[in-house]
């Protein structure tokens, strides 16, 4: 019921997730990102603790693969789940449980993971990965949005459209981009509209916020 891309920028070290689904408020439970630690998307019959505990384990020094195996061991119903992880070194891990609703699957790229379930078909994941890999955009938030847009154009969630979210962090404790379209007939398009508004009305303000690098 969800398609997402979880990534680390090789040039800047930014971490982020772009996601959309046919339920409201996908950004509230599916997206977990922490600067200098990692990014985790939990999907299908999602388990928020995949993200909550997963970030803790990453911060303790575990790799993406180690975190994936640990959170699976801690969840007796992991076959209903889907998971995508990118750690702060760009290492990736992902899992699509045997009990997720088809089409369901994931793709590993260079420091990114595309994952989806209850999709119209495999082409959604394929086109998202190809769009991200071939993008001419350098700024991670915009590359993620571009990939999400491509996934929606390929059909996205086979049940329809309802919400979308984009969450990106850089070096600081607060996000540089954290926007959501929580209930909308065209959530990806609405997310792009909100992003464009933020470029003039919010992001310049964020650039002037206090920076406590040693905390």
Residue 211: the pLDDT is 87
Mean pLDDT for 43-50 is 97
- Burial class, 46, CB count within 10 angstroms (exposed 0-12 / middle 13-18 / buried 19+): buried
Closest CA to 38 of 18, 59, 69, 66: 59
Is 212 part of a structural domain of the chain? no
Q: Kindly report, residue by residue over 85-99, the tens digit of the pLDDT.
A: 999 999 999 999 999
Mean pLDDT for 129-152 is 98
Report the chain's mean pLDDT, rounded to a whole number. Answer: 96
Is 109 part of a structural domain of the chain? yes
Q: What angle do CA 65, 8, 22 make, to 5 degrees?
A: 85
d(CA 170, CA 155) in angstroms, rounded, equals 31
Number of domains into which the chain is organized: 1
Q: What is the CA radius of gyration of the chain?
A: 16
Residue 130: the pLDDT is 98
* Residue 122 structural domain: 2-206
Is 211 part of a structural domain of the chain? no
Is 214 part of a structural domain of the chain? no
Is 7 part of a structural domain of the chain? yes
Q: Please determine, for residue 214, whether its predicted confidence score (pLDDT) is greater than 60.
A: no
Is 9 part of a structural domain of the chain? yes
CATH number of the domain encompassing residue 125: 3.60.20.10
Reported as a pLDDT band with limits 50, 70 and 90, residue 157 is confident
Q: Kindly report, residue by residue over 96-127, the tens digit of the pLDDT.
A: 999 999 999 999 999 999 999 999 999 999 99
Q: Kindly report, residue by residue over 169-185, the tens digit of the pLDDT.
A: 999 999 999 999 999 99
Handedness of CA 56, 182, 193, 3 (dihedral sign): positive
Cβ–Cβ under 8 Å, residues 147 and 4: no
How far is Cα of residue 158 from the mean position of the Cα atoms in its chain? Answer: 19
d(CA 107, CA 124) in angstroms, rounded, equals 11
Is 215 part of a structural domain of the chain? no
Phi-psi region of 106 (alpha: psi -120 to 50; beta: other; left: phi over 0): beta
Mean pLDDT for 18-26 is 97
Name which residue leads in pLDDT, 158 or 192. Answer: 192
Mean pLDDT for 190-212 is 95
Is 11 part of a structural domain of the chain? yes
């Amino acid at each position: 019921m969800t398609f997402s891309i979880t990534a680390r920028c090789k040039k800047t070290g930014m971490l982020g997730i772009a996601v959309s689904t046919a339920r409201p408020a996908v950004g509230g439970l599916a997206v977990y990102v922490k600067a200098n630690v990692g990014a985790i998307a939990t999907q299908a019959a999602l388990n928020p603790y995949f993200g909550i505990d997963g970030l803790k384990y990453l911060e303790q020094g575990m790799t993406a693969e180690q975190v994936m195996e640990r959170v699976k061991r801690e969840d007796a119903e992991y076959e209903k789940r889907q998971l995508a992880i990118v750690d702060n070194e760009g290492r990736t891990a992902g899992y699509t449980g045997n009990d997720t609703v088809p089409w369901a699957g994931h793709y590993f790229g260079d420091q990114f993971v595309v994952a989806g379930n209850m999709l119209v078909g495999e082409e959604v994941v394929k086109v998202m990965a190809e769009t991200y890999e071939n993008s001419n955009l350098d700024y991670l938030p915009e590359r993620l949005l571009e990939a999400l847009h491509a996934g929606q154009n390929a059909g996205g969630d086979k049940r329809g459209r309802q919400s979308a979210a984009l969450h990106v962090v850089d070096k600081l404790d607060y996000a540089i981009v954290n926007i959501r379209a929580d209930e909308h007939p065209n959530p990806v398009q609405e997310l792009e509209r909100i992003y464009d508004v933020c470029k003039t009305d919010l992001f310049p303000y964020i650039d002037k916020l206090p920076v406590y690098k040693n905390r």
